[in-house]
Structure 1
Amino acid sequence: MSQLSTGASQQTLIATFRPIFERIAAGAVARERDRALPHEPITWLKEAGFGALRIPRDKGSWGVSLPQLFGLLSELAEADANLPQALRGHFAFVEDRLNQPDSAERDRWFGRFVEGDLVGNGWTEIGPVALGDVNTRVTPLERGWSLSGEKFYSTGTLFADWIDVFARRNDTQGDVIALVSTHQPSVQREDDWDGFGQRLTGSGTTRFNEAFVEQAHLFDFADRFRYQTSFYQHVLLASLAGIGRAVARDATQGVRARSRMYSHGNASVSRQDAQVLQVVGEISSLAFAVEATLLRATHSLQEAYEAHTSDDETLLTECNVLAEAEAGQAQVMASELVPRAATLLFNALGASDTRLSKALDRHWRNARTLASHNPVIYKARDVGNWRVNGVPPTSVWQIGNAREPERHGARA
């Protein structure tokens, strides 16, 4: 059995990746203003081995723990909040491979990740798909599978070498995950994501027109790693925490550099105005609280990962329920506090800081967009139901068009 990924040198990680994050941050405003997809920053991360962070050391990479991974993702989000979400599908598929038994096929995937291959996401469908159904289908061929369908919210696919596609088999009607190479003309990717936030995540439409899937690249969905829902949520949490850090940074730098002052202010310069300083302190505290909450939640996620080799079903259930519950509690807090911090930012600055050239509005737009994923109202309900009634939080769910209720004849 290969080593578990339980940690790497924090100093080495910081020395390797923080300079890259700084380069990414330097171009973030221009990319936002020009709607320029971050292909170059993605390349920098690939070349540095960022996509292989979780691969164990005995398999040729870093072997970072989940607290370390999400700490780095929050730093990356501070530089550009689009990038962690663009890599969300990739890190989830890496995690799924980590949770599988040792095999030559798993080692081949590890080798691809170490070489820099990235995985995008293709799970969600819009349009005429009923709740619980999936229109994307795989059909068996003599030496593989044929994949046809259309996905939206296909985050990260524009930067990916592979796409993790949720589909249904035409022969058995079983739900599966198909890993399809993007390097074939039958896979079409469009940059048509039109959300008001997270504009550069590559989350548009992907079409599969009888795309080829290798025989070994089809996996039963039931075998997916057990803490996947909380893992996906942690990427969004890290993105929100990074936005909070960016808001605190921009508030601090903006107040420090501001020369204009109101006649009815409390000092001759903004950086000495007690009320303005209070706002900056509130923003900093909100960002600190979200980051601390994220860090706390990552430890239960790491415990769920380390427990996956156990045969103790009671332990596995306890670890996974706790990871899901703590991710939900963290989401409730982050979804409230980070948009609030992004709004308070403008109390510390002035009307001139609303100019498009500064793109400071991106912080609120991005935070609000991230907070709209996996409805937070249901997370809060699940946490309450878990605390009061001991009901485990929802860990697998679907979205689609509601089915029409059965209509019964009117009573006489």
Structure 2
Amino acid sequence: MTASRPDDNALSTGTDYDTLATRFRPIFAEIASGAAQRDRERILPHEAIAALKAAGFGAVRIPVQYGGAGASIPQLFRLLIELAAADSNLPQALRAHFAFVEDWLNVPSDADQRAWFDRFASGQIVGSAWTEVGDVAVGQTKTKVAQRDGRYFLNGSKYYSTGSIYAEWIDVYAQREEDGSNIIAAVSTQQNGVVREDDWDGFGQTTTGSGTTHFKDAVVEPRNIIDFSRRFKYQTAFYQLFHVATLAGIAEAVKRDAATLVRNRTRVYSHGNAPHVSEDAQIQQVVGEIASWAYAAQAVALQSAEPAQRAYVARFGHDDAAEHAANVEAEIASAQSQLVTSELALRAATHLFDALGASAISKRLGLDRHWRNARTVSSHNPLVYKARIVGDWAINGTEPPFEWQIGNGPGRGSK
């Protein structure tokens, strides 16, 4: 059911972007200066996350009257593109946080919402723990919340716990032990019952903190156990837009590095076209193509965020049909944009090496991280399924799935 519309001032419909971005750009620049080293030495960006927290980055979507910036969803993703250009690990590390924020933006105003807004405004952030690996079937959840002696305890293990190692809270997908209903448990990390491991072993996005989290009788406050059915309806599109923004930021970083390295390069080939590589027409063409792909990726990313903002506003419009249509539009837009930005970012990250010599493969430069990171982000949700969903919508008007899960299938021999 559509929620009651709050006062318009309590909706985050946008702010002056340049003023907002100016607050964070010095932090982005500092983050960018250490990105290659962090990737090379696998240094977790605790200092970078702390700086973003202190500057209020995690509260940009919160309405101004509650201590945030009142940014729209497109403005949030424009900021995330800038952050991803500095270090593509950071938007992904903050992905669960902003989804949790979005959920609280979509509920009627009450004391619980205000308590979470206060936490976000103070700099607290939320990580994720949804996915289970190993002997878990599709649709199965082994992580449970159980009541004992009037208190609630969470037990289980999760992988892909992105951002949780930096967070004060974890958004955990679990089930109630007594009836098997799906819930979200917001669990404080400041307790012995939460054990976070940095064991993510992907070849890209290595510092997102996406490893294992164990919950061993972790205490959960009753008010922080939320029926999963309450989650905001455009959540899947919103989650996927983080990948789109990250890919657009990677393409922008490739453009930056290509232009800088060509500009500063002194060595030339005897069979080149100019006495300085920056004047070589063929190299200029390579960088021009990369720049154009980065421009296109960013344009697609920003356009694809607009439907999510419309879905957010429609939540309070007292028109269930219009809200549903907005949610469908947001989902299709996010799927289409993933297909395009994935290709553009990967193409740019490969073409980068056509503008430079063998010295570009030096580990010191870390230019390979752009391709590894883009390939990792593009692998989270199979693009072939995205294309099929978009095609089925275009041909048959079949609505996209708004939720999906991963786990062991029944096997080839099943009937």
CA shift, 1:407, in A, is 5.5
**Match for 2:257 among 239, 250, 265?**
250
Asked whether the 8 Å contact 1:166–1:177 carries over to 2, the reply is: yes
Structure 2: distance between partners of 1:312 and 1:144: 39
Q: 1:364 to 1:406 in 2, by over 3 A?
A: closer
Partner Cα separation in structure 2 for residue 322 and residue 14 of structure 1: 28
Query: Distance in 2 between the 1:41 and 1:59 partners?
Result: 25
Match of 2:368 in 1: 361
Q: Following TM superposition, by how much is the alpha carbon of 1:347 offset from its aligned partner in structure 2, in angstroms?
A: 0.1
TM-score normalised by the chain length of structure 2: 0.97
The CA deviation string for residues 36-59 of structure 1, in whole angstroms up to 9 with x for no partner, is: 100000000000000001000121
Percent identical residues: 54
Judged with a 3 Å threshold, the aligned counterparts in structure 2 of structure 1 residues 117 and 355 are, in CA distance, closer, same or farther, namely same
Amino acid of the structure 1 residue aligned with 2:97: H
The reply on whether 1:275 has 2:282 as its aligned counterpart is: yes
Amino acid at match of 1:171: E
- Distance in 2, matches of 1:378 and 1:224, equals 23
Deviation at 1:350, TM superposition (A): 1.1
Shift of residue 338 of structure 1?
A: 0.4
Q: How does 1:114-263 map to 2 (within 5 A)?
A: 114-263=121-270
Aligned position for 2:301: 294
Deviation at 1:31, TM superposition (A): 1.1
**Residue 395 of structure 2 corresponds to residue 388 of structure 1:** yes
The secondary structure found in structure 1 opposite 2:184 is strand
Amino acid at match of 2:124: D
User: Are 1:40 and 2:47 matched, yes or no?
Assistant: yes
The TM-score normalised by the length of structure 1 is: 0.97
Amino acid across the alignment from 1:247 = V
Pair 1:17 & 2:29 matched: no
Match of 2:3 in 1: none
In the TM superposition, residue 228 of structure 1 has moved relative to its aligned partner by 0.3
Distance across 1 between alignment mates of 2:138 and 2:309: 32
Where structure 1 has 5 or more consecutive residues not aligned to the other structure, the ranges are none
Q: In the alignment, which residue of structure 1 is the partner of 2:61? A: 54
Shift of 1:65: 0.3
Could you give the per-residue CA deviations for residues 244-295 of structure 1, whole angstroms, max 9, x where no partner exists? 0000000000110111111111111111111110000000011111100011
Runs of 4+ aligned structure 1 residues displaced above 2 Å come to 141-144, 404-408
Q: CA distance change for structure 1 residues 130 and 407 in 2, over 3 Å: closer, same or farther?
A: closer
Residue 26 of structure 1: how far off its partner (Å): 1.1
Distance in 2 (CA, whole Å) between partners of 1:91 and 1:182 is 17
| Higher RCO (C-alpha 8 Å, min separation 6) | 2
**Alignment correspondent of 1:331:** 338
Q: CA deviation at 1:404?
A: 3.8
Taking only aligned residues, the RMSD between alpha carbons, in angstroms, comes to 1.1
Shift of residue 314, structure 1, vs aligned partner: 1.1
Question: Distance in 1 between the 2:22 and 2:95 partners?
Answer: 23
